[in-house]
A and B are shown apart, each in its own frame.
Chain A
Amino acid sequence: MAEKSSYKTTAERRRTKDQSFVEKEQAVVEGIDISGQWNRMYEPREIQDYDTTYLDKLTDLPGGESMGWCYQCAQCVPACPVDTAGGDYAPRKIFRRLQNGNDFFNHRDLWLCTTCQNCLRVCPKEVDMIQIIPAARALAVLEGNVPDELQEMFQNVAEYGNPMGQSPRKRARWTRKADAAVRVLPKDPAPVEVLWFVGDYYAYHGRGVDAANAMTRVYNRLGVDFGILGADERSDGDSQRLAGEPGLFEELAEHNIAQFRKYQFDKIVVSGPHAYNAIKNEYPKLGGEFPVEHYTQFLSAQMPKLKPLLTRPFTRKVTFHDPCYLGRHNGEYDAPRALLQAVPGIEFTEMYRCKAQGYCCGGGGGGMWLDGYAALHQTERLSENRVKEAVEVGAEVLAVCCPYEVSRFEDAVKSTDNDGKLEVLDIIEILDRCME
């Protein structure tokens, strides 16, 4: 027999040694004789004998539990932007590799997730990467396993309160170039309507400063009574929390909360979705409850006042990129679109992946400081994938409302050889251009 064929029949395969079964010689159930093969039951079979140390280590972490719920349906795979960008990723794959004994805490899988939440949207088992990833990273950071780029960011934020490692004293320096007055609350602490939380990129990044100046002009034209924290503002901490430094997040949050408490204001208006997410959802856990709006929400609520000011037409074909932490995480899809629709002359086009299904720019969850790391493990950057889509839908302008994104997409426009074809603008810059 053996020499005849190396294949086994189904019956033979059933009877292999490690698939033993039990049969009771005599068995009667409810008067029916099921002796012998009629009561045959397979012994529970050990289908794998892998080391689950790391899977256990992960699911034992507070926040890491849901990784163990995955039943491999693969819904998340096409949803994951990292997989789309050639990263061989998504919770399904991470879980499978964990089952196979992979040391997640020393593996690229730990760092590629941008916490964009698109997988959670489709996952029937509610495997929640937004909880899993920060918890696992926090452990790795404590153990000293951090990619260099990210470590440097932590170091900068811990030392200076901003990821660029710039002097905290220079945080309000951008206002010197602003062509309208900006009230700095520590110097002029009288009550104010809006406390504008400017954020790192608006304060320090060249293109962010452009947007901050535009914001200042728009507020002034609208007659908004606003003030900023100036040198007393620190990073909102959201990216640090998601990247695995909860202690640093708390320190930053406590600092910012203490600053907020010094002043009387109606609401906080933030420039960025991460600051929005942090102040809205995370600061309250530390006792800091403040009314907060993203600037697109604040401005779209003033449409009757805003619209008449938008007089100069902007006759370009524009598409909009939903930031994960404004859209999917916090459910705001309409405010930025309302502002764009109010722009005279605009030709607005949606990208294929938009709103709840929006594609991630790659900057979230600490991705801003894992750029080199991610590039090593993916075939393209998420921002590049997105820019190609914007070009494909025929847009001339890619509008954004997250301060990280201008830098990411402008860079991706160059790296995908789309120089001159696509301009990246913050919505506030477009509004500013439309006001005489």
Chain B
Amino acid sequence: MAGDVLVLAEHFGGSLGDITFELLGMGKTLAGEFGGTCTVALIGGSDAMAEELGGADLVLRLGGEELADFNPEPYGEALLAAIEAKAPRVVLIGYTSMGMDLASTLAVKTGRNLASSCIRVEGGERITTTSQLYGGKMDVRSDLGTAPCILSVLAGSAPADAGRHDGAPTVENLDLPATAGRVRFKRFIEPEAGDVDITAQDILVAIGRGIGSKDDIEVAEELAEALDAAVAATRPIVDAGWLPKTRQVGKSGLKVKPKVYLALGVSGAPEHLEGMKGAATIIAVNTDKNAPIFNVAHYGLVEDLFEVCEELTEALEDR
């Protein structure tokens, strides 16, 4: 069955987010299966952004500078206008903070079906999606049939590289519809330096007594920086005063659920596990192959944490 795909571009601070390219790659594959085109809706974007979207058949621009800062109300109206103008079979929106404001609202306004938390989308005669639900404990396959739909897609579901193509895409401008102005953007508040909320991090590098000394925490901090992560710790590290109490994970510390929890030199005492067993992926590095942390970890590495830190930091910096 023929049909087109519309992808919502996401940007922040003047540059496009990875999710845009992930969705674009996915959208192109789908459009290929449909024998249709893949359009990117760029709301409040810049010329420079449009140029990065060479992978798209068409870049539909709605508004410019004045809409640079995300606002769910005008963005929602703009995306609605784009859907009405292009009548795509599938609309791809990221399952991100911005996307969450838009996908469900548009589903109601357009009367389309919406499948959320998708990690896979298969096109063809019918559209089939796989959603990751129940905290990642179940993959749910849904048949959306032949009707036009909206899909909200989890970040990291497709490689971003597939959507990255330079080159001058065809650009079309669409007028912004008027909005009621009931939501007004005020400002961005950057997280304060030094004040890390480990419960709000996607990646945590957790250190235990295996780190040995206060000075060596630097090694973990360097790795955390390369990973865009924060350093968390077991209680003994906090007790020793090497890190503040706000970094302690566990029974008498904080409960964390990051996407990745990298435990370095952590034995895995039940009191520590209480705070992090909900992490989506747990990776443990420990010299003792019998350390209990390996019972809850999804991946394990029996190696010296310092060697792993050094090599991993280098590998990441080389990328």
Which positions in A face B, CB cutoff 8 Å?
Answer: 149, 164-165, 204-207, 369, 371-373, 375, 407, 410-411, 414-415
Encoded as 1 (CB less than 8 Å from any A CB) or 0, chain B from 174 to 209 comes to: 000000000000000000000000000000000001
B236 lies within 8 A of A415 (CB): yes
The CA-CA distance from A165 to B236 in the complex, in Å, is 23
B: number of interface residues (CB 8 Å): 14
B251 within 8 Å of A by Cβ?
A: yes
A371 to B275, CA, bound (A): 14
Instruction: Decide: A372 and B292 in contact? CB cutoff 8 A.
Output: no
Residues of B within 8 A of A (CB): 209, 235-236, 239, 245, 248, 251-253, 269-271, 274, 292
With the chains together, A164 CA to B245 CA distance in Å?
Answer: 21
Contacts of A369 in B (CB 8 A): 251-252
Closest to B292 in A: A206
Supplied contacts A206-B292, A369-B251, 6 more A-B pairs, CB within 8 Å = A205-B270, A206-B269, A411-B235, A411-B269, A415-B236, A415-B239
**In chain B, what residue has the closest Cβ to A419?**
B209
Q: What are some 25 contacts across the A-B interface (CB < 8 A)?
A: A149-B251, A149-B252, A164-B270, A164-B274, A165-B274, A205-B270, A206-B270, A206-B292, A207-B270, A369-B251, A371-B251, A371-B252, A372-B235, A372-B245, A372-B252, A372-B253, A375-B239, A375-B252, A407-B269, A407-B270, A410-B269, A411-B271, A414-B236, A415-B236, A415-B239
Instruction: Provide the bound-state CA to CA distance between A48 and B271, in Å.
Output: 47
Shortest distance from the beta carbon of A406 to any chain B beta carbon, whole Å: 10
CB distance from B104 to the nearest CB of A (A): 29
Cβ distance B232 to chain A, nearest Cβ, rounded Å: 15
Question: Do the beta carbons of B271 and A407 come within 8 Å of each other?
Answer: yes
Complex: how many Å from CA A204 to CA B271? 11
Residues of A contacting B292 with CB < 8 Å?
Answer: 206
A interface, over-half SS: helix
In this complex, what residue of A is CB-closest to B268? Answer: A206
Give the chain A neighbours of B253 by CB distance below 8 A: 372
Inter-chain CA distance A411–B252, complex, in Å, is 13
Nearest CB on A from B57, distance (A): 50
Chain A min CB distance to B311 (Å): 28
Q: Closest B residue to A373 by CB, please name it.
A: B252
A207 / chain B contacts, CB cutoff of 8 Å: 270
Please give me the residue from chain A that is nearest to B273 by CB atom: A206
Residues on the A chain within 8 Å of B270, using CB: 164, 204-207, 407
Q: Compute how far the CA of A207 lies from the CA of B236 in the bound complex, rounded to whole angstroms.
A: 19
Task: Given A414-B236, A415-B236, check contact A372 B271 (CB 8 Å).
Answer: no
In the bound complex, residues from chain A placing their C-beta under 8 Å from that of B251 are 149, 369, 371
From B235, B252, B271, name the one whose CB has the most chain A CB atoms within 10 angstroms. B252
Q: Which residues of A contact B252 (CB under 8 A)?
A: 149, 369, 371-373, 375
Name which of B236, B269, B292 has the most chain A CB atoms within 10 A of its CB: B269
Which residues does chain B contribute within 8 Å of A164, judged by CB atoms? 270, 274
C-alpha spacing A371/B238, complex, angstroms? 13
Known: A206-B270, A411-B271, A414-B209. A372 touches B236 (CB 8 A): no
Contacts of B245 in A (CB 8 A): 372
Contact A372–B248 (Cβ < 8 Å): yes
List of B residues within 8 angstroms of A204 by Cβ: 270
Closest Cβ–Cβ distance, residue B31 to chain A (whole Å): 45
The CA of A165 and the CA of B271, in the complex, are separated in Å by 12
CA gap between A164 and B255 in the complex, in Å: 12
Provide the bound-state CA to CA distance between A3 and B209, in Å.
Answer: 65
A residues less than 8 Å from B269 (CB atoms): 206, 407, 410-411
For A375, the chain B residues whose CB sits under 8 A away are 239, 252
Residues on the A chain within 8 Å of B239, using CB: 375, 415
Q: In the complex, what residue of chain A is closest to B239 when comparing beta carbons?
A: A415
Bound form: Cα–Cα A204–B253 in Å = 19
A403 to chain B, nearest CB (A): 12
Q: Residue of A at shortest CB range from B253?
A: A372
Q: Which residues of chain B are near A149, meaning CB under 8 Å?
A: 251-252
Shortest distance between the CB of A404 and any CB in chain B (Å): 12
A35 to chain B, nearest CB (A): 71
Q: How far is the CB of A319 from chain B (nearest CB, A)?
A: 23
CA distance A402 to B253 in the complex (A): 24
The smallest beta-carbon distance between B249 and chain A, in angstroms, is 12
Q: A367 CA to B251 CA in the complex, in Å?
A: 13
Smallest beta-carbon distance B153→chain A, Å: 31
Complex: A429 Cα to B274 Cα, angstroms: 25
Residue of A nearest to B245 (CB): A372
Q: Determine the residue in chain B with the shortest Cβ distance to A147.
A: B252
Question: Counting chain A CB atoms within 10 Å of each CB, which of B236, B251, B292 scores highest?
Answer: B251
Complex Cα distance A414/B234, Å? 12
> Which residue of B is nearest A209, CB measured?
B270
Task: Please measure, in the bound complex, the distance between the C-alpha atom of A411 and the C-alpha atom of B234, giving whole angstroms.
Answer: 12
CA distance A415 to B269 in the complex (A): 13
Contacts of B271 in A (CB 8 A): 407, 411
Query: What distance in Å separates the Cβ of B70 from its nearest Cβ neighbour in chain A?
Result: 33
